[in-house]
Structure 1
Amino acid sequence: MAAQQGTSSNTTPTVLVPELLSFSPHFLLDDTINIANDEVGRAVDALEDFLNRWAETRLEREPDWDADKELEQGLVSFQTLLEFHTDIAFDFFEAWSLRNIFAVPTDLPLIAPHHAGLDFNQPSEKEAELLVEIDELWREIEKQKKLRLLLTKAKRTSGRHAKKAQVRLDRLAFFQPDQLRMLHALATDVGAFHTSVSALPPLDPANTQSLLPGLGKREWEIGRAGYISWVNAQLLRHANTATGSALESASVEEALEALSKEHVSAALRALKHGDS
């Protein structure tokens, strides 16, 4: 035990060896021992099969022989002895490997590749500053991760909005450029019309009531006065057509006199029919 302590004191810490090899020597040795134990189990199973065949042959000659008891005791003894020697052998192998194969002497000028150019002779204050800087860098990395997550969500959301907008655009794809210009001009006219109507003064309720009975009707449908006005307009139109430019400066009475009695009679009959 003293020799082992002296040997271990002359070697570098065990942390350096896994750092150089990129794996732990203990894990490698454990895997090796597990493989050996598996082989011991396979050897016991193979011996059991052989002994079962041998016992069947012996039972044919000696029917009174108790094969189960002797075979079980023999297999247990064989397995225990084999596992005992295997454990002792690999315990020595593990201890020897850690002291000789996976051990680095302290006086060996060995520099790890990722330690090249580094100065480990730094004061404790400098180490504390470096640790604070590392903490700040870690916090910055966490912030960047959160920001990246938010940007990923925003990208997905904008992608969904872009798809919806593309669907709306496809629905409006049947519009031609000329139609769009016409709609633009129509929208301008509607806007100007709305501005003009908004600038009109408010309606007088008295005048509004007089306009409501004839709203949406033709002139000759709005009672007696409307019908007479419409008849006068018709008579004037016929008078202008019949007399030509000679009647352009004549009065309404002259136009009525120039018309035939048939037109006047027909107008009066229509008027009476409308009153009835």
Structure 2
Amino acid sequence: MSSNEPPKTHPMLATELLGFQPQLLLDELMSAVNETIYESTARVEEFLNEWIDEKERAGEDVEPLKKELEHGMHALQTLLENYADLAFDFFEAWSHRNIFVIDEGLPIVAPHQRGLDLEVPLERERELQIEVETLRRKLDNMRRQYAKIRRCEAQAAVSRRKAEALLKSISFIEPAVLESEKATKPLADFLAALRKLYDIPRPEPSPATGTSMRPTAGKEAYLSWAVDRLMKDADGDKFASRAEEEVRQLMASDDMALGTSSPPRVPVKVDEDTDDSLSDSMTSQG
């Protein structure tokens, strides 16, 4: 390798070690030099303007001096800027070749890479890259799922508030239903009792053995008539007592449920034969 050949460098390695790009430092230095030039020329112009003002107060003609000052300050500033640009071009090239240069043969370990095994085989590095990519995809999926869950929670909260508002608006229905059930329960019990009373079996009428008139034909006919009448009277009394007991139980249950007076009595349905038997029984007892 000849001595005139520039050394092989790694620009990114210098940036990694320094934490900033070297070119940014050089640009900042150039800006600082330009600011110094502008400030220096401004101070020189201020001094010369004061000198011209003294000449003007002394009564001398200062117009040529002002024109010469204007052109002279512009020429001075341009000269200084050109000299600074030329000098910093050389300084920038020299810095990149001598200051911010790292020979590729120089073993350097960055602070954040200290303790790492950099001799990893290429196959292992590829496997690790695939694993990292897989974990990155899983993390992205988890983030999307979490965002979806948050949206669902917000929607569920809105639906819950709407449902609670609806429930509050119709909450008056439940007490009304309970009151209606409580009010109609005695009526339902009363109707069930009436149905139970209606289902009481009717007494079978005994076959007629003669007329309802007392026979006078003979002793045997009178005995037959008397026995038949006694049987009918026994069946009628049994049916009447049973019906009256059912009505009394119904009245007692209604009074306890409603706390009011008992409902009107319902006439017991009695067939004509039973009615005749009851009438004849009352007539015979009278």
TM-score for the superposition, normalised by structure 2: 0.49
Tell me: CA distance 1:36–1:167, structure 2 relative to 1, closer, same or farther (3 Å).
farther
Provide the residue aligned with 1:28 in structure 2: 25
What is the distance in 2 between the residues matched to 1:185 and 1:3? Answer: 112
Provide the residue aligned with 1:205 in structure 2: none
Provide the residue aligned with 1:211 in structure 2: none
Tell me by how many angstroms 1:152 deviates: 3.3
Tell me by how many angstroms 1:164 deviates: 4.9
What is the distance in 2 between the residues matched to 1:19 and 1:101? Answer: 15
Provide the residue aligned with 2:272 in structure 1: none
Contact 2:55 2:62 in 1 (8 A): no
Amino acid in the other structure paired with 2:72: G
Do residues 56 (structure 1) and 53 (structure 2) align? yes
Provide the residue aligned with 1:86 in structure 2: 84
Tell me: CA distance 1:110–1:184, structure 2 relative to 1, closer, same or farther (3 Å).
farther
Contact 1:59 1:65 in 2 (8 A): no
What is the distance in 2 between the residues matched to 1:126 and 1:183? Answer: 76
Provide the residue aligned with 1:196 in structure 2: none
Provide the residue aligned with 2:230 in structure 1: none
Do residues 39 (structure 1) and 33 (structure 2) align? no
Q: Matches of residues 125-164 of structure 1 in structure 2 within 5 Å?
A: 125-161=123-159, 164=162
What is the distance in 2 between the residues matched to 1:3 and 1:91? Answer: 23
Do residues 117 (structure 1) and 116 (structure 2) align? yes
Tell me by how many angstroms 1:184 deviates: 11
Task: State the SS of the aligned residue for 1:66.
Answer: helix
Provide the residue aligned with 2:274 in structure 1: none
Provide the residue aligned with 2:12 in structure 1: 15
Contact 1:18 1:24 in 2 (8 A): yes
Tell me by how many angstroms 1:129 deviates: 4.4
Task: State the SS of the aligned residue for 1:73.
Answer: helix
Tell me: CA distance 1:64–1:21, structure 2 relative to 1, closer, same or farther (3 Å).
closer
Do residues 70 (structure 1) and 64 (structure 2) align? no
Amino acid in the other structure paired with 2:150: T
Name which one, 1 or 2, has greater alpha-carbon Rg: 2
What is the distance in 1 between the residues matched to 2:26 and 2:86? Answer: 14
Tell me by how many angstroms 1:127 deviates: 4.8
Percent same amino acid at aligned positions?
33
Tell me by how many angstroms 1:76 deviates: 1.4
**Number of residues paired by the alignment?**
187
Q: Which runs of 5+ in 2 are unaligned?
A: 189-263, 266-277
What is the distance in 2 between the residues matched to 1:3 and 1:149? Answer: 63
Tell me: CA distance 1:4–1:149, structure 2 relative to 1, closer, same or farther (3 Å).
farther
Task: State the SS of the aligned residue for 1:103.
Answer: coil
Amino acid in the other structure paired with 2:118: D
Provide the residue aligned with 2:194 in structure 1: none
Task: State the SS of the aligned residue for 2:11.
Answer: coil
Which protein has the bigger helix share? 1
Amino acid in the other structure paired with 2:117: L
Tell me by how many angstroms 1:48 deviates: 2.6
Tell me: CA distance 1:45–1:129, structure 2 relative to 1, closer, same or farther (3 Å).
same
Tell me by how many angstroms 1:73 deviates: 1.4
Tell me by how many angstroms 1:143 deviates: 2.7
TM-score for the superposition, normalised by structure 1: 0.50
